[in-house]
Amino acid sequence: MALRTRFTELAGIEHPIVQGGMMWVGRAELAAAVSNAGGLGLITALTQPTPDDLRREIDRCRTMTDKPFGVNLTILPSVSPPPYAEYRRAIIDSGIKIVETAGYKPQEHVDDFKAHGIKVIHKCTAVRHALSAERMGVDAISIDGFECAGHPGEDDIPGLVLIPAAADQVKIPMIASGGFGDGRGLAAALALGAEGINMGTRFCATVEAPIHENVKQLLVSNDERATNLIFRAFRNTGRVAKTSVSDQVVAIGGQAGAEFKDVQPLVSGAKGRIALETGDLDAGLIWAGQIQGLIHDIPTCDELISRIVRDAEAIIRGRLTSLLVA
């Protein structure tokens, strides 16, 4: 059996499970493993140093899977932004059929992708942003609750409220993100009005995730309380795993008059990459969500997705149905 939703139909996938686009993690081997298991794997465009490197990574992924996979393109305001238009062209020229966009003013990217027949999922942290993206012409929404890793926005609305609030207004297919990692979560997301789930942190704790075993073991050993909210004072909140580095960032950011430059040496993406690749947990930030509290093993992507779908189906067919009284 399978769970068929509007999103599985849109993406041409077997199971309503998406692997989030994660910096330094969303590489070909992980995306291919998720797609081969029936989900939707995503390569993270900006993990690749240049647009040509992205082309090669897409080609590499195609040697590992013949199933649908996509690319994440996150647009962030920056003094010296990467060449987004060139990355976009690499995605289009490579024949990618589905893209996840996120971040700042994606209209020009959405328009170009749509003009080339590419399906666009836009990642949002608020209902108002989801409705704006829907008006922009995207094909699906990924709605990100406060439990998530990364940047949950500044509204602090958890998924239990945010997902149905969005489902009440958003007409296009919507997947739920933030705090998902097992069959209970998938069943709950479907009950709340979503058409599937997006998982980032949970896919980091898999065999195929291209990160150091120390990081995977950290995610297994941490509980749901073991995250830090950083950058709160700068109105750019981020949720990361609780480590010595993120503890320092919180302490410095909480001081009166603190500025971003005061924490900048600790939070560079290059240092985070070192932590992920070498397993030195004191090297940089490790982005992780509250779902850590429900991560107890390091399965293959196929084992994880099969288990999630099997457990969700058992909940829907079994426990929930058994509660009905004639």
Each domain of the chain, given as residue ranges in start order, spans: 6-211+298-322, 213-290
Q: Which residues have a Cβ under 8 Å from the Cβ of 265 and sit 6 or more positions away?
A: none
Please give the structure tokens belonging to residue 65: 């899977």
Residue 63 has a pLDDT of: 98
Residue 319 has a pLDDT of: 87
Residue 325 has a pLDDT of: 87
Question: CB of 197 within 8 A of CB of 186?
Answer: yes
Per-residue confidence of the chain (326 residues) as pLDDT tens digits?
A: 679 999 999 999 999 999 999 999 999 999 999 999 999 999 999 999 999 999 999 999 999 999 999 999 999 877 789 999 999 999 999 999 999 999 988 999 999 999 999 999 999 999 999 999 999 999 999 999 999 999 999 999 999 999 999 999 999 999 999 999 999 999 999 999 999 999 999 999 999 999 999 999 999 999 999 999 999 989 899 999 999 999 999 999 989 889 999 999 999 999 999 999 999 999 999 999 999 999 999 999 999 999 999 999 999 999 898 898 87
Question: CB of 125 within 8 A of CB of 161?
Answer: no
Residue 2 has a pLDDT of: 79
Residue 78 has a pLDDT of: 76
The number of residues making up the chain comes to 326
Q: Which fold has domain 6-211+298-322?
A: TIM Barrel (3.20.20)
Q: How far apart are CA 56 and CA 8, in angstroms?
A: 27
Give the closest residue to 201 by CA, choosing from 149, 262, 136.
149
Q: How far apart are CA 231 and CA 253, in angstroms?
A: 7
Question: CB of 195 within 8 A of CB of 11?
Answer: no
Residue 1 has a pLDDT of: 63
Q: How far apart are CA 281 and CA 119, in angstroms?
A: 37
Q: How far apart are CA 4 and CA 290, in angstroms?
A: 28
Please give the structure tokens belonging to residue 284: 């940089």
